[in-house]
């Protein structure tokens, strides 16, 4: 260009044009988000909600484990009773446990106080002997790793404080529910239902949404298929998926992470089936309240995370304040977690956890009803 | 059966919007029937009522002699909505298989029937491709195949030729004529007046109302116009003055 005139296409190239395109795109995205009031509200409200929950949850202190102290054999009555009182005082002084005398009802069978849930651990003091070789027997429930540590720490602290009047004692610990549960073992029973519930829920929400937005839902309604059949069809598909999913999680936790578990696989699957039906139907119901995938994903912090935090997952519902406890009691996952903990950690049967299953079943029926209404309304 | 669809004073309102008003007409069985009108003239609402997806606000509607939306009617009807309405992540054959299953095509006959409709829309060689990998023209043949896979007596096609190139459009119309010759009632909505002439009978619609219904030749004669576009405007004008 000898005359130095600028070619018309120069505006299409170079940094300025690039910045312009980027800014244009950014603007468009901001506009789209701004027009979506719900997404906007979500961006503000969801973090606030979760942080509020965490604030309350981190303030929870677990109730001190109850330790019952059984005196030595009756023939040494005065001395034994004095020692029992001393040990209780020493344990109380640690401030870590709730120490008391073992109820006479359990005198014959001290371990039964633990299985009945009267105490987390029972200390059985031996008859004082000149050699001092007899150990203090400790029977620990063992299913709660935090409580295990607390009890043993309190015990050694109390022993270290010393009762010089008595010969030094060794301690023999016996766990009722399998020795040495790790923290991970404790969480395994809640991982399995969580994943099953989370994925069936999320996948249902999104696939149902796609069905609606992609026009195939309308196509279904024009076909001979009915609302109930649609729900059942979805259930059938996701049930297979959920069973495969729980198998994978279960085998992974048992064989790869080598997580300890008791109870039967069949019982675990029964709970999974409840959760799948719950997840699918809740997904169908809530998918009608999402216009697009972005809105569908917003159900995660609303439906999934509060249940992940509150439903007997990391913190025990029984330790919570009335407000959190009320919230937890209203969440279906609480009941599946309680049931699976009993089944997997304590080897209980479905009959033992029937109350939890009834609660879970009630929620499942509720969501079936809601999804039926939702499908009919989508029509 | 003389009529595939009968309607008497059928109206459908959405809130204050009168999508279809007081339509009375009969669609004879076994021919190609065109619903002709501009966008927003009520064609889709009418087809959705016939498909049983929505009920009329007022009036009497009979499809294949029964109440639309009844399961027995749904089984004998094929419906192709305006949107693709396909499972894009699934191959063409899987889509057809799904709809064949939905409409209860017996397992023994299913495979052969799927091959048949694939051949009809000339999609045999792409049958195993996921829908989302197909080009636009190819993709448009799939919903038609899905609507036909269960050999329905009545086919409702909502703007099947929108965005279809002229060559494929001609092929489509040839399918429709073939179907009608086999006794199938083919209801096609379109706003292309140039293809309306291929129908056995036409219903001209505007603003949710029926302007006229007749064979293309009779419509030209009645209006005294040389082509259907002028005829449409003629009937629209007549109604406006009436």
Query: Read out DSSP for B86-97?
Result: --TTSBHHHHHH
pLDDT single digits (tens) B138-151: 888 899 999 999 99
For residue A214, list chain B residues with Cβ-Cβ distance below 8 A: 83-88
Q: Does A220 touch chain B (CB under 8 A)?
A: yes
* 3-state secondary structure (DSSP) of residue A223: coil
**Does A169 score more than 90 pLDDT?**
no
Q: Test A214 with B52 for CB contact under 8 angstroms.
A: no
B22-32: average pLDDT: 94
Q: Which of A100, A109, A112, A111 is nearest to A138 (CA)?
A: A111
Ramachandran bin of B187, using left for φ above 0, alpha for ψ from -120 to 50, beta for the remaining angles: beta
Which among B51, B75, B84 has CB closest to A215? B84
Q: Test A222 with B52 for CB contact under 8 angstroms.
A: yes
The phi, psi pair for B199, rounded to 5°, reads -80, 155
Rounded to whole angstroms, what are the CA distances from A312 to A194, A250, A328, A365?
11, 19, 8, 22
**Does A370 score more than 60 pLDDT?**
yes
Q: Please state which of the ranges A132-141, A298-307, B33-42, B154-163 shows the lowest mean pLDDT.
A: A132-141
For B79, the closest chain A residue by CA position comes to: A222
Q: Does A75 touch chain B (CB under 8 A)?
A: no
Paired with B18 in beta bridges are B13
What DSSP string runs through B50-116?
Answer: HTTSS--SEEEEEETTB-TT-HHHHHHEEEE-SS----TTSBHHHHHHHHHHHTT--HHHHHHHHHH
* 3-state secondary structure (DSSP) of residue B39: coil
A-B C-beta contacts closer than 8 Å: 47
- C-alpha to C-alpha distance for B18 and B33, rounded to whole angstroms: 23
B78-95: average pLDDT: 87
Mean pLDDT of chain B: 89
Which among B82, B87, B102 has CB closest to A223? B102
Question: Which sign does the torsion angle of CA A120, A126, A127, A129 carry?
Answer: negative
- C-alpha to C-alpha distance for A333 and A197, rounded to whole angstroms: 8
- C-alpha to C-alpha distance for B40 and B37, rounded to whole angstroms: 8
**Does B164 score more than 90 pLDDT?**
no
Q: What is the pLDDT of residue A297?
A: 86
Q: Does A379 touch chain B (CB under 8 A)?
A: yes
List the end-to-end C-alpha distance of chain A, in Å, as a whole number. 66
**Does A77 score more than 90 pLDDT?**
no
Q: What is the pLDDT of residue B31?
A: 94
Interface pTM, i.e. ipTM: 0.88
**Does B154 score more than 90 pLDDT?**
yes
Q: What is the pLDDT of residue A182?
A: 62
What does DSSP assign to residue A125? P
Min distance B87 CA to chain A CA atoms (Å): 7
B5-29: average pLDDT: 93
Spatial contact of A181 and A145, defined as CB atoms under 8 Å apart: yes
Mean pLDDT of chain A: 76
Q: Test B81 with A218 for CB contact under 8 angstroms.
A: yes
Spatial contact of A275 and A200, defined as CB atoms under 8 Å apart: yes
Residues B194, B134, B38: CA angle, nearest 5 degrees? 25
pLDDT single digits (tens) A334-368: 999 889 888 888 888 888 889 999 999 999 999 99
Q: Does A2 touch chain B (CB under 8 A)?
A: no
Confidence of residue A20 (pLDDT cuts 50, 70, 90): very low
Spatial contact of A109 and A137, defined as CB atoms under 8 Å apart: no
- C-alpha to C-alpha distance for A336 and A189, rounded to whole angstroms: 9
Q: Which of B5, B101, B126 is nearest to B59 (CA)?
A: B5
The phi, psi pair for B24, rounded to 5°, reads -125, 120
- C-alpha to C-alpha distance for A96 and A86, rounded to whole angstroms: 16
**Does B5 score more than 90 pLDDT?**
yes
The model's pTM is: 0.71
Min distance B74 CA to chain A CA atoms (Å): 5
Min distance A215 CA to chain B CA atoms (Å): 5
Q: What is the pLDDT of residue B157?
A: 95
Q: Test A222 with B103 for CB contact under 8 angstroms.
A: no
What DSSP string runs through A32-68?
Answer: HHHH-HHHHHHHHHHHHHHHHHHHHHHT--PPPPEEE
């Amino acid at each position: 260009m000898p005359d130095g005139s600028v070619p018309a296409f120069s505006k299409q190239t170079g940094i300025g044009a690039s910045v312009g395109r980027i800014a244009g795109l950014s603007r468009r995205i901001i506009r789209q988000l701004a027009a979506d009031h719900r997404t906007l509200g979500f961006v503000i409200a969801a973090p606030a909600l979760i942080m509020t929950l965490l604030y309350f949850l981190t303030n929870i202190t677990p109730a001190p484990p109850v330790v019952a102290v059984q005196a030595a054999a009756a023939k040494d009555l005065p001395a034994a009773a004095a020692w029992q009182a001393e040990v209780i005082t020493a344990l109380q002084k640690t401030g870590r446990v709730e120490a008391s005398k073992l109820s006479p009802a359990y005198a014959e069978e001290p371990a039964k106080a633990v299985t009945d849930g009267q105490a987390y651990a029972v200390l059985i003091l031996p008859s004082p002997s000149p050699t001092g070789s007899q150990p203090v027997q400790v029977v620990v429930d063992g299913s709660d790793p935090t409580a295990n540590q607390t009890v043993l720490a309190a015990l050694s602290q109390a022993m270290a404080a010393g009762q010089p009047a008595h010969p030094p004692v060794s301690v023999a610990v016996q766990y009722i529910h399998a020795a040495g549960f790790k923290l991970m073992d404790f969480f395994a029973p809640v991982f399995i239902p969580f994943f099953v519930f989370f994925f069936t829920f999320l996948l249902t929400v999104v696939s149902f949404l796609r069905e609606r937005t992609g026009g195939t839902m309308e196509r279904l309604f024009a076909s001979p298929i009915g609302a109930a059949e649609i729900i059942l069809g979805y259930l059938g598909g996701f049930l297979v998926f959920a069973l495969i999913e729980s198998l994978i999680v279960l085998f992974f936790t048992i064989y790869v992470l080598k997580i300890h578990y008791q109870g039967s696989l069949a019982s675990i699957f029964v709970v999974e089936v409840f959760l799948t039906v719950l997840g699918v139907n809740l997904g169908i119901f809530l998918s009608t309240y999402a216009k697009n995938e972005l809105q569908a994903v917003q159900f995660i912090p609303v439906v999934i995370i509060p249940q992940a935090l509150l439903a007997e997952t990391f913190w025990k519902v029984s330790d919570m304040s009335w407000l959190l406890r009320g919230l937890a009691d209203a969440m279906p996952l609480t009941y599946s977690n309680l049931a699976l903990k009993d089944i997997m950690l304590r080897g209980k049967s479905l009959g033992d956890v029937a109350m939890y299953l009834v609660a879970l079943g009630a929620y499942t029926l509720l969501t079936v009803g809601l999804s039926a209404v939702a499908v009919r309304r989508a029509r | 059966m003389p009529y595939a669809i009968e309607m008497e004073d059928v109206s459908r309102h959405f809130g204050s919007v009168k999508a279809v008003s007081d339509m009375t007409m009969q669609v004879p069985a076994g021919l190609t029937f065109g619903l002709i009108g501009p966008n927003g003239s009520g064609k889709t609402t009418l087809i959705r009522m016939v498909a049983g997806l929505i009920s009329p606000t007022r009036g009497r509607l009979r499809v294949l002699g029964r109440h639309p939306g009844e399961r027995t009617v749904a089984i004998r009807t094929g419906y192709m909505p305006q949107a693709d309405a396909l499972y894009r992540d699934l191959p063409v054959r899987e889509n057809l298989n799904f709809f064949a299953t939905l409409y209860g095509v017996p397992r023994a006959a299913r495979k052969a029937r799927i091959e048949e409709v694939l051949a009809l829309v000339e999609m045999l060689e792409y049958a195993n491709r996921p829908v989302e990998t197909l080009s636009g023209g190819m993709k448009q043949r799939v919903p038609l195949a899905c609507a036909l896979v269960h050999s329905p007596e009545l086919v409702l096609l909502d703007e099947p030729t929108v965005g279809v190139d002229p060559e494929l459009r001609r092929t489509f119309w040839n399918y429709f004529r073939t179907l009608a010759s086999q006794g199938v009632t083919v209801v096609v909505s379109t706003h292309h007046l140039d293809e309306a002439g291929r129908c056995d009978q036409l219903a001209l619609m505007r603003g949710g109302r029926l302007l006229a219904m007749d064979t293309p030749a009779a419509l030209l004669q009645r209006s005294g116009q040389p082509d259907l576009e002028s005829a449409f405007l003629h009937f629209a004008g007549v109604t406006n003055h009436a």
